Amino acid sequence: MRVKAILQERRLKGKNPDSSLSEDTPLEVKEIEDAEAAILRFIQNQKFSDEIQVLLQDRKASEGLDQDSAVRKKTKMRRTSHIYRLDPFIADGILRVGGRLSNADISEDSKHPVILPRKSHVTTLIIRHAHEQLGHVGRGHVLSRLREKYWIVGATSAVRQVISACVTCRRSKASTLEQKMADLPQDRLTPAPPFTYVGVDYFGPYFVKEGRKEYKRYGALFTCLVSRAVHIEIAHSLETDSFLNALRRFIARRGPVRELRIVSDPETKMSRVANRCTLEDAKEESRMTRAFISD
């Protein structure tokens, strides 16, 4: 649009240099349309000069004839031309698509869109403008908007090119970085019987009734670090004794444990258990566990 406006200024200045129009004078619709037509004519003359010459010659040749024979007369345009199949014609000096829609109830621009070359700065600007005006939509949407007014030779790939170069789209579609996880510890990878390397955590509490009283009970969840198998024992409280009892029952059932990893994230039940274990308790626990293993 800015390009159009600048051109408009120049045209104004060229026409009447003494004009009192300043740069702040708003442009009229007619002036903008004229500027746009001038730009279109300019790039069409750049890229389709041969075709335009042929069409002008055709028109001259058919001027003496009546309309029917003029229609039947074949154009001398090269068949290899990119726009040969578009049945082009010239109106007000602008090259437009022919076709059979003359009687359709749609705007004149849609019936006979302006032909634009693919590789042109103006074409790129027009595509980008449509793309941004529609809120950075995809190819199909941009194409249908463009076809209301323009016929771009090789439009699909031209639009794809513009969208793939759009910074905003690239940024919004970029994939987020992912954290690379550290190597797994050895005890997760060493082949061993199930429940040789074990993690443990608590869940709960659940409320159970004994007679009229209600008690809290916890689940002690043992998981095999290698095979991901799960074993659940009841812990009657968050006391250390209760945990040791659960551990004993677990070992009696599943066999000796080589390494026990206590999952004690802050704010979990297990961390409270771990906090209540004094150093002596921990020593005692490992001593007893070892006794179980050797049994």
Minimum CB distance to Zn ion, residue 155 (Å): 17
Per rule CB under 5 A, is residue 136 in the interface with Zn ion?
A: yes
- Phi first, then psi, for residue 178 (nearest 5°) are -115, 145
Which residue lies nearer to Zn ion by CB, 96 or 131? 131
Which residue lies nearer to Zn ion by CB, 128 or 149? 128
Count CB-CB contacts under 10 A for residue 195. 23
Q: Which stretch binds Zn ion (CB under 5 A): 87-95, 107-115, 130-138, 287-295?
A: 130-138
Per rule CB under 5 A, is residue 169 in the interface with Zn ion?
A: yes
The Cα–Cα gap between 220 and 268 comes to 12
Hey, which residues between 184 and 243 contact Zn ion (CB under 5 A)?
none
Per rule CB under 5 A, is residue 111 in the interface with Zn ion?
A: no
Q: Which stretch binds Zn ion (CB under 5 A): 4-12, 86-94, 159-167, 225-233?
A: 159-167
The residue assigned the tokens 């001593």 is 287
The Cα–Cα gap between 121 and 158 comes to 11
Rounded (5°) CA angle 17-22-27: 100
Among 166, 260, 262, 263, binds Zn ion (CB under 5 A): 166
Minimum CB distance to Zn ion, residue 100 (Å): 35
Minimum CB distance to Zn ion, residue 127 (Å): 11
Any residues with CB less than 8 A from the CB of 65 and at least 6 apart, and which? 73
Q: Which stretch binds Zn ion (CB under 5 A): 8-16, 134-142, 188-196, 206-214?
A: 134-142
Hey, which residues does 214 pair with through a beta bridge? 209
Q: Which stretch binds Zn ion (CB under 5 A): 75-83, 160-168, 188-196, 242-250?
A: 160-168
Distance of alpha carbon 73 from the chain centroid = 51
Among 69, 144, 164, 168, binds Zn ion (CB under 5 A): 168
Q: Which stretch binds Zn ion (CB under 5 A): 85-93, 107-115, 129-137, 261-269?
A: 129-137
Give the 3-state secondary structure of residue 151: strand
DSSP 137: -
**Number of residues binding to Zn ion, judged by CB under 5 A:** 4
Residue 180, CA distances (Å) to 176, 177, 183, 226, 251 in order: 13, 9, 9, 21, 36
Hey, which residues between 30 and 89 contact Zn ion (CB under 5 A)?
none
Per rule CB under 5 A, is residue 125 in the interface with Zn ion?
A: no
Which residue lies nearer to Zn ion by CB, 175 or 186? 175
Task: State both tokens at 14.
Answer: 């060229």
Q: Which stretch binds Zn ion (CB under 5 A): 54-62, 119-127, 135-143, 259-267?
A: 135-143
Which residue lies nearer to Zn ion by CB, 134 or 293? 134
The Cα–Cα gap between 64 and 67 comes to 9
The Cα–Cα gap between 242 and 148 comes to 78
Per rule CB under 5 A, is residue 137 in the interface with Zn ion?
A: no
- Phi first, then psi, for residue 210 (nearest 5°) are -125, 105
Task: State both tokens at 29.
Answer: 């619709």
Q: Which residues bind Zn ion (CB under 5 A)?
A: 136, 166, 168-169
